[in-house]
Amino acid sequence: MTLPRNAPQNPAQNTHPQSALAYWTVGPCQGELRSEDLRAPAQGEALVRTLYSGISRGTELVVHEFNVPPRIAKAMRAPHQTGDFPAPVKFGYLSVGVVEEGPEDWIGRNVFCLHPHQDRYVVPLSSLTRIPDGVPPRRAVLTGIAEIALNALWEAGPRLGDRIAVVGAGLVGGMTAALLRSFPLERLQLVETDPGKRGFVESLGVEFVLPEDAKQDCDIVFHCSATDEGLARSLQIAGDEGEIIEMSWYGDRKVSLPLGEDFHARRLSIRASQVGVVARSRRHRRTSSERLDLAVSLLRDPVFDAFLTGESQFEELPEVFNGLQSGELDDLCRVINYPKTKKG
């Protein structure tokens, strides 16, 4: 049987779910699951059934708490976001699923997508990153975080024998340090105020230090704590004419810094790293898709399972966000499980 050019490449795709369920932020610290129509995929598109999504706590709580600055609201849109900040908005970017409809060579493939929390969705094939063998789908939710860290490393360009500190042992800081541990550095320290994170940091094969014990004279400091104190300490431990790569997103919160101390006196630099575009040093030779392909391939190492510190069901998402906001839940990356099947 020969199918028309614009027909689905798989005859079994003649039926598809008529609706999908997605998480929306609808008010300050308020979210809900909403049903929406789900169309059939067109040529060059795929329908993905979600297996897992991950909550990027720092960024997603800024959205949950209505702290996205209006001035940069358009620039901070996620790739498949629906709605505008502050609300109602469908936001998120750590989704892993399996292709159920689309070209024959995509059917059944596990994929990563920068998509909000939703049980099924239709996107262009160009939005999907194939998950390679050796990377479990659950771990692959970290692809978007690995991409953030990878971009920062491209931004900073660590060199042989560098002395490096990462300040803040959260999701992004931990990922950055985990990738750096394979570099031929003279020194790598992960600086964190919470001594309870020592076990996590050491499980990555990285040295844990409290801020007061951090060694100075660093060539590069990656700041990931999203606190005034962390950025101030970063300035103190950077060596003369050293560089601080700022990876925190503060939302609309004001930041206070002692720029009259180390910053001018020792000619330090603070440089922003933001994943929305490929780092300048690679921008002309790497696409965003190539960056994602590399990021997911880095997750073959089981050490990254240490970042997946909690798990909930999809229908529990509104309560999960409230728990993260209140501090009742304290996860690096909470994994959301989706139903294995869904009636059409």
% residues pLDDT > 70 (the chain) = 94
pLDDT at residue 17, as a whole number: 52
Residue 10 has pLDDT above 70, yes or no: no
Taking the CA atoms of residue 64, residue 67, residue 72 and residue 73 in that order, the dihedral angle to the nearest 10 degrees is 40
pLDDT band at 5 (very low <50, low <70, confident <90, very high): very low
Please name which of 216, 212, 210 lies closest in space to residue 235, comparing C-alpha atoms. 216
Instruction: pLDDT band for 18, please (50, 70, 90 cuts).
Output: confident
Higher pLDDT, 296 or 5: 296
Q: What is the pLDDT of residue 75?
A: 87
pLDDT at residue number 293: 97
Closest C-alpha to 249, from 59, 64, 65: 59
26 CB-near residues (< 8 Å, 6+ apart): 32, 87, 88
Residue 34: left (phi > 0), alpha (psi -120 to 50), or beta?
Answer: beta
* DSSP assignment letter at 104: G
Average pLDDT, the chain: 93
pLDDT at 282: 94
Residue 344's Cβ-side half-sphere holds a number of Cα atoms within 13 Å equal to: 9
Domains assigned to the chain: 11-144+287-337 (3.90.180.10), 158-272 (3.40.50.720)
Helix (H, G, I), strand (E, B) or coil at 125: helix
Amino acid letter, 316: E
**The predicted structure's pLDDT at residue 3:** 35
Residue 16: its pLDDT value, please? Answer: 53
Q: What is the pLDDT of residue 321?
A: 97
Query: What pLDDT shows up at residue 70?
Result: 93
Which has the closest alpha carbon to 23: 92, 86, 84? Answer: 92
Average of per-residue pLDDT across 115-124: 98
Position 340 scores a pLDDT of 85
Peptide bond into 79 cis (omega under 30): no
Residue 29 to residue 292: CA distance in whole angstroms: 31
pLDDT digits (tens, 9 = 90+) for 43-94: 999 999 999 999 999 899 999 999 999 998 998 899 999 999 999 999 999 9
> Residue 197: is its pLDDT beyond 90?
yes
Handedness of CA 214, 219, 222, 225 (dihedral sign): positive
Q: 303 near 135, Cβ under 8 Å? A: no
Q: 177: pLDDT confidence band, cut at 50, 70 and 90?
A: very high
Q: Which two tokens stand for residue 174?
A: 């931990």
- Classify residue 11 as exposed, middle or buried by CB count within 10 Å of its CB (0-12, 13-18, 19+): exposed
pLDDT in tens, 181-194: 999 999 999 999 99
- Over pLDDT 90: what percentage of the chain? 89
pLDDT at 7 over 80: no
Residue 56: the pLDDT is 93
